[in-house]
Amino acid sequence: MDYEARYEDLSRALEDLSERNRTAPVIVEGERDRKALEALGIRGDIRVVNRGTSLFRLCEDLAREDRGAIILTDWDERGGRLARQLRDGLAANGVRYDDEIRARLARLCRKEIAAVEELRAYVERLEDILRERDRSKPSKRWYSRRPPP
Protein backbone atom coordinates (compact mmCIF):
# COMPACT_ATOMS: atom_id res chain seq x y z
CA MET A 1 0.00 0.00 0.00
CA ASP A 2 1.36 3.40 -0.94
CA TYR A 3 0.68 5.40 2.21
CA GLU A 4 2.31 8.53 0.84
CA ALA A 5 0.04 8.66 -2.22
CA ARG A 6 -3.03 7.98 -0.09
CA TYR A 7 -2.01 10.72 2.36
CA GLU A 8 -1.47 13.21 -0.48
CA ASP A 9 -4.83 12.35 -2.08
CA LEU A 10 -6.56 12.64 1.28
CA SER A 11 -4.87 15.98 1.97
CA ARG A 12 -5.97 17.31 -1.44
CA ALA A 13 -9.55 16.19 -0.80
CA LEU A 14 -9.58 17.95 2.58
CA GLU A 15 -8.06 21.10 1.04
CA ASP A 16 -10.79 21.07 -1.62
CA LEU A 17 -13.39 20.64 1.10
CA SER A 18 -11.97 23.58 3.04
CA GLU A 19 -11.94 25.75 -0.09
CA ARG A 20 -15.52 24.89 -1.05
CA ASN A 21 -16.64 25.36 2.54
CA ARG A 22 -15.84 29.07 2.25
CA THR A 23 -18.99 29.56 0.16
CA ALA A 24 -21.18 26.59 1.06
CA PRO A 25 -21.98 24.85 4.33
CA VAL A 26 -20.95 21.25 4.91
CA ILE A 27 -23.76 18.96 6.06
CA VAL A 28 -22.66 16.20 8.45
CA GLU A 29 -24.56 13.64 10.50
CA GLY A 30 -23.54 14.47 14.05
CA GLU A 31 -21.63 16.67 16.43
CA ARG A 32 -18.57 14.38 16.46
CA ASP A 33 -18.34 14.75 12.68
CA ARG A 34 -18.36 18.54 13.04
CA LYS A 35 -15.62 18.42 15.67
CA ALA A 36 -13.47 16.10 13.54
CA LEU A 37 -13.70 18.47 10.57
CA GLU A 38 -12.85 21.46 12.72
CA ALA A 39 -9.82 19.58 14.07
CA LEU A 40 -8.74 19.02 10.46
CA GLY A 41 -8.89 22.75 9.76
CA ILE A 42 -12.33 23.01 8.16
CA ARG A 43 -13.43 26.35 9.60
CA GLY A 44 -16.51 27.32 7.58
CA ASP A 45 -20.20 26.71 8.20
CA ILE A 46 -20.83 23.10 9.26
CA ARG A 47 -24.45 22.00 9.67
CA VAL A 48 -25.37 18.99 11.77
CA VAL A 49 -28.36 16.92 10.61
CA ASN A 50 -29.15 15.18 13.90
CA ARG A 51 -30.02 18.29 15.87
CA GLY A 52 -33.75 17.86 16.40
CA THR A 53 -35.03 19.56 13.23
CA SER A 54 -36.25 17.68 10.20
CA LEU A 55 -34.09 17.04 7.19
CA PHE A 56 -36.50 18.90 4.95
CA ARG A 57 -36.39 21.92 7.28
CA LEU A 58 -32.61 22.02 6.91
CA CYS A 59 -33.02 21.96 3.12
CA GLU A 60 -35.61 24.75 3.27
CA ASP A 61 -33.30 26.87 5.44
CA LEU A 62 -30.49 26.46 2.93
CA ALA A 63 -32.87 27.41 0.11
CA ARG A 64 -33.82 30.60 1.97
CA GLU A 65 -30.14 31.47 2.37
CA ASP A 66 -29.69 30.94 -1.38
CA ARG A 67 -26.51 28.91 -0.88
CA GLY A 68 -25.31 25.59 -2.12
CA ALA A 69 -24.41 22.76 0.22
CA ILE A 70 -21.73 20.09 0.55
CA ILE A 71 -23.07 16.69 1.57
CA LEU A 72 -20.58 14.83 3.77
CA THR A 73 -22.36 11.96 5.45
CA ASP A 74 -20.64 8.73 6.47
CA TRP A 75 -19.98 6.20 3.71
CA ASP A 76 -21.77 3.34 5.44
CA GLU A 77 -25.28 2.19 4.51
CA ARG A 78 -27.04 4.65 6.83
CA GLY A 79 -24.88 7.52 5.59
CA GLY A 80 -25.68 6.56 2.00
CA ARG A 81 -29.42 6.68 2.70
CA LEU A 82 -29.05 10.03 4.42
CA ALA A 83 -27.00 11.42 1.51
CA ARG A 84 -29.72 10.31 -0.92
CA GLN A 85 -32.41 11.98 1.21
CA LEU A 86 -30.34 15.16 1.37
CA ARG A 87 -29.81 15.18 -2.40
CA ASP A 88 -33.55 14.76 -2.94
CA GLY A 89 -34.48 17.42 -0.37
CA LEU A 90 -31.94 19.94 -1.61
CA ALA A 91 -32.91 19.39 -5.25
CA ALA A 92 -36.61 19.76 -4.39
CA ASN A 93 -35.82 23.15 -2.84
CA GLY A 94 -33.63 24.27 -5.72
CA VAL A 95 -30.39 24.12 -3.74
CA ARG A 96 -27.19 23.16 -5.56
CA TYR A 97 -25.35 20.41 -3.75
CA ASP A 98 -21.90 18.87 -3.98
CA ASP A 99 -21.38 15.25 -2.98
CA GLU A 100 -18.20 14.70 -4.99
CA ILE A 101 -15.89 15.15 -1.99
CA ARG A 102 -17.90 12.55 -0.06
CA ALA A 103 -17.36 10.12 -2.95
CA ARG A 104 -13.61 10.90 -3.05
CA LEU A 105 -13.21 10.37 0.69
CA ALA A 106 -15.19 7.14 0.53
CA ARG A 107 -12.92 5.80 -2.23
CA LEU A 108 -9.80 6.77 -0.28
CA CYS A 109 -10.90 5.55 3.15
CA ARG A 110 -13.57 2.89 2.67
CA LYS A 111 -11.36 -0.05 3.64
CA GLU A 112 -9.97 1.71 6.70
CA ILE A 113 -12.79 3.85 8.15
CA ALA A 114 -16.50 4.35 7.51
CA ALA A 115 -17.31 7.62 9.28
CA VAL A 116 -16.44 11.30 9.04
CA GLU A 117 -15.70 11.37 12.77
CA GLU A 118 -12.84 8.91 12.19
CA LEU A 119 -11.11 11.09 9.57
CA ARG A 120 -8.86 12.96 11.98
CA ALA A 121 -7.55 9.78 13.59
CA TYR A 122 -7.01 8.24 10.16
CA VAL A 123 -5.01 11.25 8.93
CA GLU A 124 -2.91 11.14 12.11
CA ARG A 125 -2.33 7.41 11.65
CA LEU A 126 -1.08 7.98 8.09
CA GLU A 127 1.18 10.78 9.32
CA ASP A 128 2.62 8.46 11.99
CA ILE A 129 3.25 5.71 9.44
CA LEU A 130 5.03 8.14 7.13
CA ARG A 131 7.12 9.60 9.97
CA GLU A 132 8.11 6.14 11.16
CA ARG A 133 8.99 5.07 7.66
CA ASP A 134 11.18 8.15 7.19
CA ARG A 135 12.96 7.48 10.50
CA SER A 136 13.73 3.90 9.58
CA LYS A 137 15.49 4.85 6.34
CA PRO A 138 19.22 5.35 6.65
CA SER A 139 20.21 8.95 6.17
CA LYS A 140 22.05 10.09 3.06
CA ARG A 141 25.03 10.89 5.29
CA TRP A 142 25.29 7.22 6.18
CA TYR A 143 25.66 6.36 2.51
CA SER A 144 28.28 9.06 1.99
CA ARG A 145 30.45 7.73 4.86
CA ARG A 146 30.40 4.13 3.67
CA PRO A 147 33.70 2.99 2.23
CA PRO A 148 33.50 2.27 -1.47
CA PRO A 149 33.12 -1.43 -2.34
pLDDT one-digit tens code per residue, 90-136? 999 999 999 999 999 999 998 899 999 999 999 999 999 998 887 76
Is residue 143 scored above 80 in pLDDT?
Answer: no
> DSSP of 62-117, one letter per residue?
HHHTT--EEE---SSHHHHHHHHHHHHHHHHTT--EE-HHHHHHHHHHTTT--SGG
For the chain, give the percent of residues with pLDDT over 90. Answer: 76
Domains of the chain, earliest start first: 3-135 (3.40.1360.10)
Is residue 66 scored above 80 in pLDDT?
Answer: no
Is residue 33 scored above 70 in pLDDT?
Answer: yes
pTM of the model: 0.84
